[in-house]
Amino acid sequence: MNTQQPLMIMVAPNGARRNQSDHHLLPMTIEQTVSAAAACQSAGASVLHGHIRDKQGHHSLDAGIYQELLAEMDAKVPDMLVQITTEAVGQYTTQQQMDLVTKLRPKMASVALRELVPTAASEVEAKRFFSWAYEAQVHLQVILYDAADIKRLKQLQHSGVLPSHCACVLYVLGRYRENLQAQPKDLDEFVQSTNSDTWFACAFGQQEHACIAHAIDRGGHARVGFENNLWLPSGELAADNHILVAQVASYAQRQGRKLASAREAQTMLGVRY
Angle at 89 between CA 13 and CA 154, to 5 degrees: 90
pLDDT at 273 over 90: no
- Assigned domain for 3 exists: no
pLDDT digits (tens, 9 = 90+) for 226-245: 999 999 999 999 999 999 99
Q: What is the arithmetic mean of pLDDT over 200-212?
A: 97
pTM of the model: 0.96
264 burial level (CB within 10 Å; 0-12, 13-18, 19+):
middle
- Assigned domain for 1 exists: no
pLDDT digits (tens, 9 = 90+) for 74-99: 999 999 999 999 999 999 999 999 99
Separation of alpha carbons 261 and 41, rounded Å? 9
pLDDT digits (tens, 9 = 90+) for 171-182: 999 987 778 899
* pLDDT value of residue 2: 58
Average pLDDT score, the chain: 94
Find, among 51, 92, 55, the residue nearest to 69 by Cα. Answer: 51
Separation of alpha carbons 113 and 16, rounded Å? 18
Percent above pLDDT 90 for the chain = 90
* pLDDT value of residue 193: 63
Q: What is the arithmetic mean of pLDDT over 101-126?
A: 97
Residue 253 banded pLDDT, cuts 50, 70, 90 = very high
Find, among 132, 137, 196, 194, the residue nearest to 164 by Cα. Answer: 196
- Assigned domain for 99 exists: yes
Separation of alpha carbons 106 and 265, rounded Å? 16
* pLDDT value of residue 194: 57
* pLDDT value of residue 166: 64
* pLDDT value of residue 177: 78
Separation of alpha carbons 32 and 77, rounded Å? 13
Q: Is 142 left (phi over 0), alpha (psi -120 to 50) or beta?
A: beta
Domain count, the chain: 1
* pLDDT value of residue 71: 98
Over its C-alpha atoms, the chain yields an Rg (Å, rounded) of 17
How many Cα atoms occupy the beta-carbon half-sphere of 145 within 13 Å?
11
- Assigned domain for 76 exists: yes
pLDDT at 247 over 90: yes
pLDDT at 72 over 90: yes
pLDDT digits (tens, 9 = 90+) for 136-176: 999 999 999 999 999 999 999 999 999 876 679 999 999 87
Residues 6+ apart with CB under 8 A from 236: none
pLDDT at 195 over 70: no
AA letter at 176:
Y
- Assigned domain for 222 exists: yes
Cα distances (angstroms) measured from residue 253 to each of 3, 175, 221, 246, 247: 12, 28, 13, 10, 10
Structural domain of residue 155, as residue ranges? Answer: 9-269
Which residues in the chain belong to E strands, given as ranges?
9-11, 47-50, 52-53, 59-60, 81-85, 108-112, 139-144, 168-173, 198-203, 221-224
* pLDDT value of residue 89: 95
Q: Is 19 left (phi over 0), alpha (psi -120 to 50) or beta?
A: beta
| Beta pairing, strands 108-112 & 81-85 | parallel
* pLDDT value of residue 3: 63
- Give the CATH number for residue 108: 3.20.20.70
